[in-house]
Homo-oligomer: A and B are copies of this chain.
């Protein structure tokens, strides 16, 4: 009879343990957030990242192939314009190619954050490198914009003449490329803020 009592007590204990016991945990921690939120941000991150890759590579390609040769020439000159003529536009091509390359390489990390929405390392790495890429893309875009503005309007105070009257097609292509870089900049800004939101919600 004694041993039989022992067994019945054990069964009771197990059933008590499976009951709720919220008030016994010392500090009431907030409930863990649902994984869906982090996963949603990670998917949005991947989509925006792919858009940024397209914008960056398109603008790099447009700038890199911008060239115009005028259909007339003199004895000494053939009138030709290319992005090579302006060091700032060369910098633009190099910087945007770097940003594009980084964005392509960052896609696997973005996929990792979709599979594991609670992983902190990849997100934090992406946030830091996105900030650097944002700065690089912004500086390239702004510097090119300053030069394109000068090519369009010239500056009478410094005797820098506009060249877009002669090289209209060249200027149009370069301007389009600068616009593409600014789209990439806006996307990178959103990516930085999204990464911070995801870090908060983990």
Residues 139-150 of A, flagged 1 when their CB comes within 8 A of B and 0 if not, give: 111111111011
Q: How far is the CB of A64 from chain B (nearest CB, A)?
A: 17
Q: Which of A151, A159, A196 has the most CB of B within 10 A?
A: A196
Contact (A127, B88) CB under 8 Å given A13-B12, A138-B142:
no
What are 24 residue pairs bridging A and B, where the CB atoms are less than 8 Å apart in the complex?
A12-B12, A12-B13, A17-B17, A17-B21, A21-B21, A29-B32, A86-B155, A87-B149, A87-B155, A120-B200, A127-B193, A128-B193, A131-B192, A134-B134, A134-B138, A135-B185, A142-B143, A144-B146, A147-B150, A150-B150, A159-B161, A195-B196, A196-B199, A199-B200
Give 17 A-B pairs besides A8-B9, A144-B146, A150-B160 with Cβ atoms closer than 8 angstroms.
A9-B9, A17-B21, A21-B24, A29-B29, A29-B32, A86-B157, A87-B155, A88-B149, A132-B189, A135-B138, A138-B138, A141-B142, A147-B150, A158-B161, A158-B163, A199-B199, A199-B200
- Chain A residues in the interface with B (C-beta under 8 A): 5, 8-9, 12-13, 16-18, 21, 24-25, 27, 29, 32, 81, 85-88, 120, 124, 127-128, 131-132, 134-135, 138-147, 149-151, 153, 155, 157-161, 163, 185, 189, 192-193, 195-197, 199-200, 202
